[in-house]
Amino acid sequence: MSDTRPTLSPIAPEQAPEGRGFFTRYFRVYAALWRNSVSREMIFKANFLLWIFVEILWFALQLGFIGVLYLHTETIGTWTKWEVVMLIGGSHFVQQVFQALFLINCTNLSEMVRLGKLDFLLVLPVNTRFVVSLRQVDLGAFVNAAFGAAVVVYAAAKLGLSPGIGQIAAFLVLCTAGILIHYSLMFLLASISFWTVRAQGIVWGYYNLFQVARMPDEAFRGLFRAFFTFAIPMLLVSNVPVRVLADKITSPASAGLMLGMTAACFLVSEWVWRTSLRRYTSASS
């Protein structure tokens, strides 16, 4: 067989460069996961719509809270009302995209470990972290992310901003970094489930930290601020992209710091994941 190969057409898949085959393969796997998620969501259509409504309600509630705060003050630090609205919108956008792609998968990991269902994913001929992290897609969260984006645009109009293409691109890149920070940290916590069956409480505990991410960074000082900047970079996740968009960035260093922290969080989570996976013993059977 092998002698006949060179006579085949040069675009035969066997001869495609290794990198491209790798990416098309993963792209096709991911497309299949998407199709699965869509049909799953469409089983309970009413429920799907109701969840979107619930999220909108809670988003409106946060905006209402900001409205009440600004009845009683002009600024929080240097942040004005519409800047904070933009921050809430931006953090909602980041959080919802994270939720769409990763949240269910991170929270499901502890159940999969406990029940031994991880076996099925381990034997698949794809990277296990890839399939564990991206197995289900929460489509409703994309709708909510769009609402977050709409609030950012509206607040930008209220602030009279006219960001250039570069600024918008930087905003989107930094939002992606924010999503990756959320994902890396939550995946790291989910990896704890290899060590204790009670990891789910910890994973949901992380959910509370989203509330820190949508507060203006200037409200915090000292240890709390240092911790949530350099250890768990919640105060970078949405503050930095929104600052870039709102012309509030004090120095490009904070954007650099955020990208550095993203890489650091991802590498640490990969290391913890690999270390933890070695402890996996499956469930008794």
Partner 1 sequence: MLPAPFAEVRTCKKLRGGLVWPKQMRKYRHVLGIGLQQSLTYRLNFLARALFGLIPLFAIISVWRTIYAGKDGVQVGTYTLAQMISYYLLTLVVDALTAVNEDDWQIAADIRDGNISQFLLKPMDYLWYRFALFTAGRVGYMAVAILPITLFILSLKSHFVLPANWETLGWFACSVVMTAMLQFFISYALAMLAFWVLEVSTFIFIVFAFEYIASGHLFPIDILPHGLQSVLMLTPFPYQLYFPVSIYMGKTAGADLARGLLIQLGWVVLAYAAARWAWRRGIKHYSAVGG
Q: Which residues would be at the binding site for partner 1 (CB under 8 A)?
A: 44, 47, 50-51, 53-54, 57-58, 61, 64-65, 68-69, 71-77, 198, 200-202, 204-206, 208-209, 211-212, 215-216, 218-221, 224
Angle between helices 165-191 and 104-115 (to 10 degrees): 20
Min CB(36)–partner 1 separation in Å: 20
CB of 202 vs partner 1, minimal distance in Å:
5
Minimum CB distance to partner 1, residue 38 (Å): 19
The smaller minimum CB distance to partner 1, of residues 26 and 227, is found at 227
Task: Specify the residue, 160 or 201, whose C-beta has the smaller distance to partner 1.
Answer: 201
Residue 75, classed as helix, strand or coil, is: strand
Token pair for residue 116?
């031994």
Cβ count near 157 (within 10 Å) = 11
**CB 209 → partner 1: shortest distance, Å?**
6
Nearer to partner 1, 50 or 263 (CB): 50
Burial status of residue 208 (CB atoms within 10 A of its CB: 0-12, 13-18, 19 or more): exposed
Nearer to partner 1, 93 or 210 (CB): 210
Of residues 1 and 57, the one with the C-beta less far from partner 1 = 57
Task: Give the residue among 100, 103, 88, 106 at the shortest CA–CA distance from 142.
Answer: 100
CB of 246 to partner 1, least distance (A): 18
Residues 6+ apart with CB under 8 A from 140: 41, 48, 51, 52, 55, 100
